[in-house]
Amino acid sequence: MFAALTAIGLTRGRWVSQARWVLLWFSASFLLAALMVTAYFAAPGAVEFIYGLALGYVAAVTVHTWHHATDGSRRAQTAVEE
């Protein structure tokens, strides 16, 4: 999952518009949620696989939010210095 989200672009690459990037992340999130619900009810043996996907998703979101936090911190420091 982390690799799939990295391929989409953790922090919206220049090759994709923001609207398309949001749609891709939304689709990945929705698919993961659907897989989790399906595995919970229909395929209990697949739960470990779904946990792995969820871990990759959480790691990708963590990297994404860290990027925003550090970018915002840099902007704030630049504004103070000026």
CA–CA distance from 38 to each of 29, 44, 64 (Å)? 14, 9, 27
Tokens representing residue 44 in the block: 């209990």
pTM greater than 0.85: no
Give me the domain span that covers residue 17: 2-81
Q: Number of structural domains, the chain? A: 1
Each residue's pLDDT, cut to its tens digit, for the chain (82 residues) gives 777 777 777 666 667 787 887 888 788 888 888 888 888 788 777 888 888 888 888 888 888 888 777 876 677 667 666 6
The CA distance from 33 to 38, in Å, is 9
Q: Which of 11, 35, 31 is nearest to 22 (CA)?
A: 11
φ, ψ dihedrals at 14, nearest 5° = -70, -15
Give the residue from 17, 19, 11 showing the smallest Cα distance to 60.
11
